[in-house]
Each structure stands twice: as structure tokens, then as C-alpha cells.
Structure 1
């Protein structure tokens, strides 16, 4: 038997409609039986009283004489039931004027009831089209919708019937992505961690002969922009195996059960292509901790998806040769069952780059940029503390745009400094209107920060001071933070003192205080509360930490008496540093005034200008030491990473 096809039904419907329209069915063609006659015969029928009414078509030069029901046998020779509702006689005519005169006389003589003129050119064909087209359109739309509902391949999931299919994008060979470890600058520790996964996929027998097993999964954890997705692509590029890439939100759908179905379909495809890698970006979209309250979220779709993922990763089935890579910047929100060994065996921290790593990242992103001889990569690395890899890429791009805006032939050092300022502080607003008094207050405020930080041993080294408005800030002081692994109490107090320098300068040298110090006060207060309540650095509550990151914590872990002590200690700490800042400013009031006047005249001053006023700062930054001591050694790197690094350094002439 031939296989059933929906096209048969469509064809039968079209044939039925055609028969309905063209065989007299329905009301459209009913009463259309006609007979041709000469004009003389027409006059004979009229004179005998057979005509009911007459319709004249002036365009086609024809008329229709509709016959009275009682006279149809005389004209057609048939019974009226066989002729339909309105049988008529069709006649070719000559002069319209003569015909009109004849019909007028016939109407007066009561031979016909009435007559009318019709100017239609198209006949019935136009009527048929007008009435058929809507039905044809409805049928076409129905066919289109049915085909769309059933469309989509196994991996597409684009149709309603394929909504449970995986949306993962598959690369048959991971190296099609075109990214390897040499494109990932810095992150040597993370690269070394994932290198074993690449090695296992390339030569698994090396590990299985010793009884080792491949890690089932690796979770990349780190702040946004640190290169987690880039590292996963590099793993796929190095391994050269099939690579499935999707986002955690791709499992989420409006239909119940779709997420779990997509998880099962994804692993089914992966097992067919093993050995392979599955990469799930932003896994926290489906991997959040399940609710502990049975009355809330008991049948949550996200939880069903997570349960399916847990089962597929380490259930009774086997996932031989399938490795799961996932990335998230919210690892603290993930379910503990997802993080256990056997599912994600490794958690790889991809942190913000330190000084030497930022230098390597700059070298990667400066490859396509045309720079001049003034650009110093070491200097740029020191000017961008706390920047992620994505931020550094943005700095290089912004610098190129700024240079192009100035019609420069190459990107220079100043372009990079302007780009850093643009990203940190926002766009310059030189057109913002300020009075002379406001400008002087801002200059005194920023000069206060610069002066106090210059004389505090552990305060961050000053880079420049500006009173040009940027974003929401009316002025700013740029520092070069030392990248410490631990921070002492003395260092935090010196930084707090530098923060209070702006408010102290306003009070001392203008006689009033303003709202310009709100951000400074906020940062100082948070730092003080952190020192007292978290770090145990107060005199009255030493060595106690009330830090608690537990979810659903509804009460403070200390009494009201302790809360009062914490508040008192914070207030005491902040006020002590405020008074200390005022004392430093009073001792150096003359230099502070020169600094403020210089700011008013030039708007931007640098550390060299401060050094001319106050003399050389006795404390030297450790940035140069860090750059020298922490440069990664080639001999400490894995062989594959070492080869890529050597090739990169040769290409850079290093």
C-alpha cells in the first residue's frame, strides 16, 4: 500500500471546491440556464408576454431576457424544475437607442415588468475569482502553518513538533572555531587544568592504562569578561573533537517538560558523536539550588530540567567519551548535587588577570592595532588594575577609535590613557556649567585627596587629578592600586584617611561642607564596617567575624548590644581618620593651596606636578617588583602551552 500523505487531503479539498463552483453547486451559479436567440425571436417572445424583465449589457452588446416561470415550457420546451431559478434568453443586439425605445414601449404596454442596463465587462469569471481567492488563501495559510509546525531538524528544534529537540550548535571538528590556547593570554593555571582534558581526548590510553578515568566535567568559575567562554573554545580547538555549544537559557521554554527533553536529546546526540565536548554557558540559568520549601517550586520546570541534567551527567547510564564544560560567574547559586565529584569533577577559577597577565592580554589585543613608539605595554598594564580581559579589549578598541577621531596615523600613549579614563570615569563633560565658587570647591576637594594620599604611607600612589566632569562625577583622582594578596589594618586605615581628605579640605579651607563627598563617605563607611564586623579589626570586638553568606538568613548573628558596639567602633574609626586627614592638611596647607590653584588653571595635573610641590614621595610602589617577579617562566608551563607561548613570543619579538 502507498504511504499516506497529507497532500492527498489538500488535493481532494481543492477538487471539491472546483466542482462546487463550476458545476452549478451552491448559490453562485444557480439559475444560469440560458438559450441563444435572434433579435426577431426576442421581439416575438416579448410581444407574446413571455418576458419577465430584461438586462442590457452595453459593453458586450448583449441582453438577457429572463422568462416567466409559467412560460418556460413555451420557450425552452422543459419543465421549470429542470431549468433552475432564473432561466434566460441571451440575444445579440445592435443599436442601443432603438432597443431602449422598444423596451420603453413594451413596458408601457405591460409586456415586460422592467428593464435595466449593465456595464460589466468581465462576466462571471471575475465573480468566480473574487469568491474563490479567499478560500485559496485560507488553504495556502493552513498548509504553510502545518509545514512550519512539522519543520526543523533533529538539532534545530524550530518546529512545534520538534520543540523538545536540543538547540545546541554542533561543530563537527572543534578546530573549525579557529581558537587555540595561544589566543588565550594569561590564565596559565586555568589552561594547565583543562590541558589534561585535551590530552585525554587526544590519547586516552595513556591514562586508562594506569587505571585513570577522564573527568566527567569541568566548571569554569570567574567574574564576567575573564575569558571563560574563550577558554572553552580553545579547549575545543586544541582537542579537535565534535563540540556542542549552547547556553543555559536554551533549555528554558514556555512548554512544560521541554527543558528535560532537550537535555536528554543533547546527551543522545553527544553519545553518538563521542568522544566529544558539551559546553553549557551560563549554567546558573538551569542549575540554581533547588528550593528547600516543599510548598514552593515543587513542580518547577527549572527543577525538572536540573534533575534531567543531573541524571544524564551521572546516573545509571554511561557517558563514555562525553565531557561537560560549563561556565558561570555565580557558582555560589548552583545546586550542591551539580557540583559534587562525578558530575563536575573540577572547578577551575578564572580570576581577574594580575599585572603580568594583563601585559600578555595587551600583547594579544594590540596585534591588529597600529601603535606608535610611545606606547609602553608595561605602563598600560600598570594603569589598568582590576580590568578583565574584555575590559582590556575595550581599552584597545576605544584607543583606536579616539586616534581615528583625531585623524592620527597610529595609536599613541595618550590615546590609551584617554580610553582608560573614558572607561573608568565616563565621557568628559567640558560643557557642564559651574560657577567659580563651585569650581574652587571641587579643586580644593580633589587637592585634599591628592595631598593626604601623598603623605599616607600605605595609600595608593597617585597618577593624576582632574576637575573635568566625567559621567556623574565633578572631579576625580586616579590612583595606581597595589595588587595585594592580603591587606593589613594599617593599609585600610591609610586608604580611609585618603578618602576623607576631600571632605576635610572643604571644611578647613571653605568653612562649609557639601554633597560632593557622598561617594567618599559611602566607601569609607563600608570599609569601616567590613573591618569591624567581618575582619575582626576593632579594639572592642577583636578576632570576631559576623560574615554569613547563607541563603534565607532572617536574623542578625549578633545581639543588639553588639550591634551598638559595632556602630560605635565604626563611627570612632571614621572620625579618627577624618581628624587625621585634617591634621595632614593643616600641616601642608601651603602646598595644598598651590595644588588647588594649579588645578583651577590647568584642570588636570599629574603625579609629577604634585612631586614638584611636596617633594619626592618616600614610599615606592611595588608594581615594578611584581611585574619583574611574577612574569611566567616557560619552563614551568605544560609542553603544549609552552610551544604556543614560544611561538607567540617569537612573533612579538620578545
Structure 2
């Protein structure tokens, strides 16, 4: 089917190319041979004396056009034109050749012309025209071919634009038509709610919309009204589009699917036209559902960062969408589903009840939800008996559904690369490391003194994380370069909904432990703590400015959840407050840095043992730290589970 479409497009291309070439040839052939040939007066009177002139036209009393008789081109005729082939001869018998020359004194020329007529008994006539005169026929004869070429050229160009997305059917006249894809009962959509794991709350919301369309009497008999729309909000990869596909698979009503960028076009007015066309089609198919993915492409708040009307076209598109969703002519049997990960920049008129009545949060999955997602993606994989799904779910905090799918696929690739017949747990751990840290670079050349510094740096992180109460449990520590890092310590953060100042300070202390260890052992610091310092600064800044966890600033937050200050160049606080904020951020970081140095000095011998083992083995696990430091002073819930992982696979 695809090959037929390609052949059809190619055939149209060659048809237009041939037509264009033919008209182009005719135009140049005509123009090259119909242009008057320059001669002088003596040559003209020589031709005139032979009786081959039909008439002459004097233009503006200075230019003379000479028209020859048709029989001047017949065999035996004395002509001043040499023909290279028979086609050229036939052309000039149809369109008489013109000569052109300039005259000085018109009266003298006219007198001489009359003398030649009388002398040689010539019937040629003379006409005079002092201004340019065109009839419709003559205008078409002179310029018609050019305009025909131009028309065919533009038709060809617009068909090509249409074929690449300018409009439905590849026609320029359809450029304002909607490009939404329609799914109905005739389409075999295989994705259902059973294929969507970990989104129970969101599934319940959209399932209710589908049920309403299937049996509206169940809700309307109690006086309820169908919601106009539902907005899916969540980070990238959390399953918003997948949920919409499941709605298409479950619903027995027409389902229109398109992206917000499908409304955007270089031509003015196209976006609003496509919105109107979309809702007209939807009303014809009602009851139905419209799904707009990445609606922030057209739904951005109006009037923000607009420069000299640069957003007029997008705003017109948004205005038309607002009118269609809740205007005088709204059809209540059309429901709009939309998805975005930038809800903070959407226009408030779009979010109000009556347009998007429901806001459905599709957040990153929790522990049990990640386990369900793993179960879905592991069905098609060949697994060994030692793969623990619970452990994999705990190893991936903060991962989205797309990230988990990537982990499963990457683990299969790693197992195949190692010529295994099944996937083991270590393949999943390597896949997680690959996704988080990047590709392992074992062949990277590192000087011995630099490698030693890296070992102590990472040992400092591991030591502090082992000894502090609120630090995340350590999984492993390595000095093998991976991605842009020369070494790393891997943790398993605790999943919590609230965070206390003590927990945040312990995290800051752990991050500063690497540089603290360098200063203690080498009496100098390096640039290796760049990422640590960046994270520390943001953490301390959030404590002071956002969460109100600083005594000196007090219970004040300068965080703007509405995004109104996104493009503001002024700070929401005074210069005096800014100075206090800077001082408090610096104070928090300095205190935790000194705290890390104190803890490491008290455990300097164990720190060196850990660093030396890192230099020897390059990778150490939780069990290795337990041999050096003993049991962790503050046991964590997942300690036993991490201890069961094979540290030497």
C-alpha cells in the first residue's frame, strides 16, 4: 500500500515536470524566433523592392516594424532568413517574421517608401501608432505562455507543500483542514487500560469519561452534565499519551488524535481554521473524544513575552479553541482530552471549569506502581530465576514509565551483548547504571595521582552516607569513569512525601564529603566537586528561598507556582533581603562542610582503608563497607534487601 502511494506521488511529479518542460520550451522557442531582427534602411528597401513586404508599422515616429508575406518563406523565395530545419520554416509561415530598424526623418522615409511602391508596383501598406495598444488576444499571445508556466509552477509547488504536511490530500486548498487522525470502531486499537500500569487514579478519571459517552443516562438522570474536557498533567514519560491511546482502545466512540503543533503553520489564519474544521468533524461524529497532545504548543498564556505582535497567530488559534470548547455553539457531546508537562505556562482561560473541568495529575510512579510497570514490560523478556521485581522497583526511584521501559530494553541488549541465553539481575543493574551515569569508559587514561584523589573523593561520600542518620542508603561506590564522571557513589533514596531540615542538611553534608576528604588527605582541593557543589547550592537555596526552613528569613517563600514571574527581570525581594539570603545559604554550606570534615577526621583510618580497596577493586558494594565500618548505626528498611544482591556477579 505504501509503495502504491509513493508511485502515485512520483507519477504526479513526472507529469508536472513534463508539462512544465513543454511550456518552457514553447515559450523560449517562440520568444527566440519571434523577436524582430535588427536591419538598416538600405536592407529594408532592398527587401521592399523584391515585393516580400506585406506591411510596415511606424511606432512613435522612430521605429519601423516590417511584416513579410507568408509566401516569402516558400521554396525559391529570396529571403533574408536561413532556416535550419522544416519545423522552423513551418513556424514562420504561421507567424510572419518581423524586421526592425530605426529612422531619422519620418517625412523623408515616408516619401522614399511611396517612391519604391510606385516604382516596383508594390501593394505594401504603412500604418502609424504613437502609443502601445494591446488587445486581449495580443496580450495572451505575447505573455500567455509565461503566465501559464507561472500557474503550473505554483500549482506544482503547493502540491509539494501539501504532500509534506501543508494540508489534507496534498492540496493547497485543504491547508486549513484539520490533520487529526480518527480512530473509530473500525480501527483495531490494541492498547487498553490493562496495558496501562501504575496509573489507577488517572485511569479511573478517564474511564468515567468513556462510560459517560457510552451510557450518558446513568449520569444525566441525576442532573449531572458531561465534562467539557480533562487535562493530563505530568512529567515527560509518565504515560499521558499512553493513557490517551488506552482511551481510544476502550471507547466505542470516535476518537480524534493530534498534537498541538499540528495547528501551527506559517500561513496566517491556518491554526484557527484547523480548530474550526476539527470541531466540525467532531460534531458530525458526536458523541466523540478529541485528544490534543502537547497542548502547550498553542495554549501558552496570552500576552507573555510577546514582541510586536509576534504571537498573534498562536493567540488567534488559542482564542478559536477557547470559543469552540465553551462558546454559544458548543456541542456538549464532544469531550476534549489534552496532555502537557508545562501546565504552569497555560492560559488561565483554558484551565477554567467549563473548558477543562478536570485536571488529572500523572506523576512519576511510586514503589508499587513501578513494580506493576516492570511486570508489564518484563512479559516479553527471557528472564532468569534470580530476577527480583521488588528489588528492581526499589532500585529505580524517580523513574518514569518510559525510563522503566528503557531499563528493560537496555538489560536485554546487555545480556545479548554478553552472549547470555537469559537476562539476569546484574544486567538490570548495569542497565540502570548505563541510563543514569552513561557509558562505562574503562579505557580512559587517568594518572595515578589523579586516580588516588578520585578514590578518596568517592570514599568520602560513601563514609559520610554510611554514618549519617538521614543519608540515603549506599548501593555501591566506583572509580570507573562513566559518562562525564570520573567516579560515583550510588544511593537508593528513601521515598518520602515530606522532607525535614535535618534530612536536607544530611544530604548536603554527604555531597560535600568528597571535597572534605580531598582537603584532609591532600591538603588541597580540586575541580572534581563541580556537580556536588551545584547540587549543594540548589539544595541550600531551596531551604532558604522556597521552603522557609531558615530561622533568619522566617516562614517566607519566594516560589511562584503560577509562573507569572517567569519572564520578570526583578527579584521579589529587596536588596537587603537578597544579602541576608546569600549569607544564610553560605552559612548552611559552610556548617555542613565543617561537619563533614570533622566526621571524616574521626574516621580517617577507615576512610583510607576504603579508598585503598577502591584503588584495588575499582567497585565496592554495601557488604564491603560493612566489613570496614561494621553495621550501619542507623539501619534502613532496605538494608537487608541490598545485602542479598550478589556483589561479585
Indicate the TM-score class for this superposition, using the shorter chain for normalisation. Answer: 0.7 to 0.9
Q: Is 1:356 aligned with 2:371?
A: no
2-structure distance, mates of 1:81, 1:432: 90
Q: Is 1:391 aligned with 2:379?
A: no
Q: Deviations over 1:47-74 (max 9, x none)?
A: xxxxxxxxxxxxxxxxxxxxxx9799xx
Deviates more, 1:315-324 or 1:143-152: 143-152
2-structure distance, mates of 1:532, 1:202: 52
Q: Is 1:87 aligned with 2:87?
A: no
The match for 1:481 is 493
Shift of 1:402: 0.9
Q: Deviations over 1:599-652 (max 9, x none)?
A: 1011111111111110111323345999xxxxxxxxxxxxxxxxxxxxxxxxxx
Q: Deviations over 1:563-585 (max 9, x none)?
A: 22222222221111111111111
CA contact (8 A) 1:157 1:166 kept: no
1-structure distance, mates of 2:70, 2:596: 115
Secondary structure at the aligned position of 2:290 is classed as strand
Q: Which runs of 5+ in 1 are unaligned?
A: 1-9, 29-68, 73-79, 90-111, 130-134, 627-654
The match for 2:629 is 614
- Are the structure 2 counterparts of residues 378 and 174 from structure 1 closer, same or farther at C-alpha, using a change threshold of 3 Å? farther
CA contact (8 A) 2:282 2:290 kept: yes
CA contact (8 A) 1:174 1:240 kept: no
Match of residue 232, structure 2, among 220, 228, 252: 220
Q: Deviations over 1:7-64 (max 9, x none)?
A: xxx9xx99x99xx99xx99969xxxxxxxxxxxxxxxxxxxxxxxxxxxxxxxxxxxx
1-structure distance, mates of 2:452, 2:312: 60
Q: CA RMSD in A?
A: 3.6
- Are the structure 2 counterparts of residues 599 and 499 from structure 1 closer, same or farther at C-alpha, using a change threshold of 3 Å? same
The match for 1:553 is 568
Q: Deviations over 1:267-291 (max 9, x none)?
A: 0000001111100000001011010
Q: Deviations over 1:225-263 (max 9, x none)?
A: 000000011112111211111110110111111100000
The match for 1:55 is none
Q: Which runs of 5+ in 2 are unaligned?
A: 1-15, 35-48, 53-67, 92-143, 642-649
Secondary structure at the aligned position of 1:478 is classed as strand
Shift of 1:83: 3.3
Please say which structure displays the higher CA radius of gyration.
1
The match for 2:217 is 205
Match of residue 493, structure 1, among 499, 502, 505: 505
Equivalent residues in 2 for 1:572-591 (5 A)?
572-591=587-606
2-structure distance, mates of 1:368, 1:547: 45
Equivalent residues in 2 for 1:325-364 (5 A)?
325-364=337-376
TM-score (norm 1): 0.75
Q: Is 1:300 aligned with 2:315?
A: no
Q: Is 1:566 aligned with 2:581?
A: yes
CA contact (8 A) 1:468 1:603 kept: yes
TM-score (norm 2): 0.75
CA contact (8 A) 2:473 2:639 kept: no
Secondary structure at the aligned position of 1:524 is classed as helix
Match of residue 303, structure 2, among 280, 291, 306: 291
1-structure distance, mates of 2:600, 2:31: 104
Report how many aligned residue pairs link the two structures: 533
2-structure distance, mates of 1:259, 1:560: 45
Shift of 1:594: 1.0
Deviates more, 1:284-293 or 1:138-147: 138-147
The match for 2:526 is 514
- Are the structure 2 counterparts of residues 536 and 577 from structure 1 closer, same or farther at C-alpha, using a change threshold of 3 Å? same
Secondary structure at the aligned position of 2:570 is classed as coil
